Amino acid sequence: MPLTNTQYDAIMRIYNEKQLRHRRLHDEHVKAAYNKIPQLALIDAKVAEISIAKIRARFSGHPDDTDLPSAIAALSRERQELLLSSGFPNDYLEMQYDCPHCRDTGYVNNRKCSCFRKAEVELLYDQSNIRDSLTEENFSHCCLDYYSREILNNVTGLSSYDTAALTLRRCRNFTANFGSHFENLFFYGDTGVGKTFFSHCIAKELIDRSYCVIYFTAFDLFDLFARHTFSTTDEARELHSNIFDCDLLIIDDLGTELTNSFVSSQLFLCINERLLRKKSTIISTNLSLDRFAEIYSERTFSRISSNYTMIKLFGNDIRIQKKLLGGKNS
């Protein structure tokens, strides 16, 4: 998903601020150097004079034997010698940049500079709502030791550990194929079995690849819908656009919010709209499938079960194990 106008403008404001800051610093340097070394102003004036003379000669047709590059190089050496002899760095009068590649414009040859890509990722982290969580909850911190090899799923015959290992592979495949293969995930199971953790692993991987990922708890998402559904402000339109158009929407802890007809209808709208737009969604819930269908309607459950990969996680509560034993992530 390309940056929205608001996101792009936010990044370009940062570049404009950088340029303004460096121009002010450059002006201060010029003033300080000219005050201490008046001859510098004469040298700079000479550079301007011979450059203009060369241009005039070219357009007037009169010959000008001045070797402009050599003349400017000689004046630059004289300038640097004066600066050094007066205690200034030899590049004191050069414009400084945070990024010398794009000169703080964000672009090199009409292509986004690497610093712009980095700014995109930083902005996406800020807007994901889970920046702090992702420093610890990611694939590099994933450890399956808290999953039991003894607890079995009666339907699949797989242990808690084997199920988590399979889920980890599915999550990695989800990120590897993201952008070329449309998929949605539905994590369900008891509290503390890694549903949110695996969602965060996927989120970090995709944000680092400059995809727009937005995370909401179910409570926050429906609270937001309640406050903005009937609003016609630019903020409300931008908000709905982000929810429906972001590359990946994560709805966590579905079932913990106060459920009513408004919530059920908004959930169906959100799920259905994103399916139509081919935008991936991850949902996690502590509810059983039967209870989920009962609360949110058979229609909503049908849309999810036919368009999402259903992943059941089970086992002992990892949060409790960590408190008792300390140590690694799930």
- Burial status of residue 199 (CB atoms within 10 A of its CB: 0-12, 13-18, 19 or more): buried
pLDDT bucket at 252, cuts 50 / 70 / 90: very high
Percent of the chain whose pLDDT exceeds 90 = 58
At position 218, the amino acid (one-letter code) is A
Over residues 298-327, mean pLDDT = 89
The per-residue pLDDT for range 27-60, each reduced to its tens digit, is: 999 999 999 999 988 988 888 888 887 777 777 7
- In the prediction, which pLDDT does 329 show? 57
Angle at CA 180, nearest 5°, toward 179 and 185?
A: 70
Q: Pull the structure tokens for residue 77.
A: 């050496």
In this prediction, what percent of the chain has a pLDDT beyond 70? 93
State pLDDT tens for residues 254-304.
998 888 899 999 999 999 999 999 999 999 999 999 999 999 999 999 999
pLDDT of residue 72: 84
Beta strands at 111-112 and 107-108: parallel, antiparallel or unpaired: antiparallel
CB count within 10 Å of CB 309 equals 13
Per the DSSP assignment, residues forming a β-bridge with 111 are 108
What is the rounded CA–CA span in Å between residue 299 and residue 294?
10
In angstroms, rounded to a whole number, what is the distance separating the alpha carbons of residues 213 and 126? Answer: 10
Residue closest to 207 by CA, chosen among 125, 116, 117: 125
Find tokens 């549903």 and name the residue: 195
Q: pLDDT (tens digit, 9 = 90+) per residue, 103-129? A: 999 999 999 898 998 888 788 788 778
Mean pLDDT of 191-212: 93
Q: In this model, does residue 16 exceed pLDDT 60?
A: yes
- Enclosing H/E stretch for 306: helix 298-307
62 vs 188 pLDDT, higher one: 188
315, amino acid identity: G
Cβ atoms of residues 283 and 186 within 8 Å: yes
Query: Mean of the pLDDT values across residues 248-255?
Result: 95
